[in-house]
Amino acid sequence: MKSIRGFLVIVLLAIVTLANFAATVRGYLSSMDEAERLFNQRLLQQVDVLNYALPQWHEQTRARAEILRFPARTSDTETSLEFQWVAQDGKLLAHSAAMPEQVVVPLVEGFRFVNFHHYRWHVLVTLSSDKSSWFIVAERDDQRYRLAESMILQAVYPMVIAIPIIGLIIWWILGVGLKPVTNLARELRQREATDLHSLEQQNMPVELVQLAQSANDLLRRLDASFAREKRFSGDAAHELRTPIAALKIHCENLLHELQPTPASVMKLKQGIERMSYLVEQILLLNRTAPDHFMGSFAAVNLTQLAKQTIVEQSEALELKHHQIEFNGDECWVAGDRTALATLLNNLLGNAIKYTPDSGRIAINTWLRGKDVVLEVMDNGPGIPNAEYERVFDRFYRLGGDRHNSKTPGCGLGLSIVKQVVDLHGAQIALTQSRYGQGLLVMVTFAATPAIHNHVKNTSHNNVLDQQGRAHETDNQ
C-alpha cells in the first residue's frame, strides 16, 4: 500500500460501486416485473379496443364467409400489438397483417408464450365481451424487453456516470481529512537539523496524537543522544590530544638526547604522528556527520575558499616541488564554510601526498548552467576504475594498511569528503585525470537562486562602493 489516500479512495469507491450494482440489479428486476405488468395491462386495453371496433364487421364477415385482414402498418414503432379474432367454433374471423392464417394458440383464457414467424410472442387469449368470440392479442417478446430495458437503462446510466464523479469527491474529501497528516509531514520536513523541540499537540486530531507522542519521544531521545555525542567529541578531543601532544614533546626530546638517532625512535615518531592524524580525522568525521552536523548554511565563495586552501598548503606543495594550477569562474554555493574547507583540504592533501615529486596538480571551479563544479586533478598513480566506489568506505586504503606509496594515512580522507558532499546535497565522481594519468575528482553542487541573487547583490554593492570611493577622491 503506497498511498493511504489512494487505498481509501479505491476501497470506498469499490463499496459505492458494489452498493450501486446491487441496487441497480434489484431495481432492474423490480422494474422488469413492473414493465411486464404494464405491458400485460396494455394487452388487456387492446382487447377493450377490439371489443368496441370489431363487432360491426362480424355480420359482414359472416355473410361473405371470408377472413377480414387488416393491412400492415405504414409507420415503424418500437413495439406493435397483433391480434386474431376467432369464432366460438374455432374459425378465424379477422387478424392483423403480422399474424398467420391459422389460430396460433388453443382457445383457453390467460397469458402464455408461443413461437411463430421466427419470434417468441407474448399472447393473451380472452373471450369477447358478448362471449360469442375469442380475441388473441400478441406482442413480440424481444420488442417488449428492448423497450423495457431502454427505459430502465435511462435510469441506470446516471448511476454509472456518477461513479467517477463520486470518486473525485471522495478523493477531495480524503485530501481535506488527511491535511493534518500533510501539515505534520511538512513541519518535520522543514525543520532544521538542530531543531529537536517537541511537536505541538494542540488542535491535533485524535488519530495523530499517538503518532505525535511517539515522534516527541524519538526527538527527546535524539536530543539526548546528540548531546552525549557532542560531549563525547569535546571530551575525546581534550583527553586524546593532550597525551598525544605530550608524547610528541617527549619524542622530540628523545631525538635530541640520542645521537645518532636509533631507528626505533624514528618509528616511534612516525607512529605518534599517525595516531595524531587518525584522532584528528575521526573527530572531524564525527563533526561532519549529517546526523550530528550543527552548522548553518550560508553563501560561500567556493573560488576564494579554493585559493585560500592552496595558500594554506603551499609549504607541503613546495616540499614536494609540485606545480599547481588554478582556473575557473567565480562560484558561490550554499553550504557550511568549515565543512567545505575540510573537503578542499582533504582533496588537495591527498593529491599532494600521493603525487610523486615534481608532479602536477590543478584545482578548478566552473559554472555549468545552474550547477557549480569543483575539480581537483593530479598526475599521480590514480585509482583503478573498479575501486572508485570502494575508496569512500571508512578505513579502506588501496593495497591495505601499508599503502604502496609508503604515505601514512588512515583511510578516512575520502570518507570525510563523501560525508561533506552528502551533507550539501552534492554529487561526487572519480575519473581519470586529463593529464593522461592520475585522478580527477569532480564535485557538483546545485546552485540556488538565492546564491545567484547574493552574488548579484554583492557585485552591485562592490560597484557602488568603488563608485563612491572614486567620487570621494574626485571631491578631494
**pLDDT band of 203, cuts 50, 70, 90:** confident
The per-residue pLDDT for range 280-333, each reduced to its tens digit, is 766 666 666 555 454 567 889 999 999 999 999 999 899 999 999 999 889 999
Domain 298-462 has CATH 3.10.620.30: no
Q: Give per-residue pLDDT as tens, 418-455.
A: 888 888 889 999 999 998 889 999 999 986 654 555 55
Kindly report, residue by residue over 148-161, the tens digit of the pLDDT.
777 666 767 777 77
| Architecture per CATH, 4-163 | 2-Layer Sandwich (3.30)
Q: Is the pLDDT of residue 201 over 50?
A: yes
pLDDT digits (tens, 9 = 90+) for 341-366: 889 988 998 899 889 899 999 999 99
With a cut of 70, say whether residue 177 has pLDDT above it: yes
470 has pLDDT over 60 = no
Is the pLDDT score of 467 beyond 60? Answer: no
Mean pLDDT over 355-380 rounds to 91
Sequence-separated contacts (24+) of 55-59 with Cβ below 8 Å: 55/128, 55/130, 57/94, 58/93, 58/133
Count Cα atoms within 13 angstroms, Cβ side, for 134: 21
Question: Rounded to 10 degrees, what is the CA torsion of 419, 420, 425, 428?
Answer: -80
Mean pLDDT in residue range 13-17: 82
Which of 61-75, 133-147, 264-278, 362-376 ranks highest by mean pLDDT? 362-376
Q: What percentage of the chain reaches a pLDDT higher than 90?
A: 12
pLDDT at 464: 43
Q: For the chain, give the mean pLDDT.
A: 77
pLDDT of residue 240 exceeding 80, the answer is no
- Cα 136 to Cα 98, 122, 126, distances in angstroms: 13, 10, 7
**What is the model's pLDDT at position 248?**
80
For residue 181, pLDDT over 90 is answered with no
- Residue 40 pLDDT: 81
Looking at the predicted structure, is the pLDDT value of residue 77 above 70?
A: no
Q: In this structure, are residues 33 and 148 in contact, taking their beta carbons and an 8 Å threshold?
A: no
Confidence of residue 57 (pLDDT cuts 50, 70, 90): low
Report pLDDT for 163: 79
pLDDT at 460: 46
Confidence of residue 238 (pLDDT cuts 50, 70, 90): low
* pLDDT for residue 64: 52
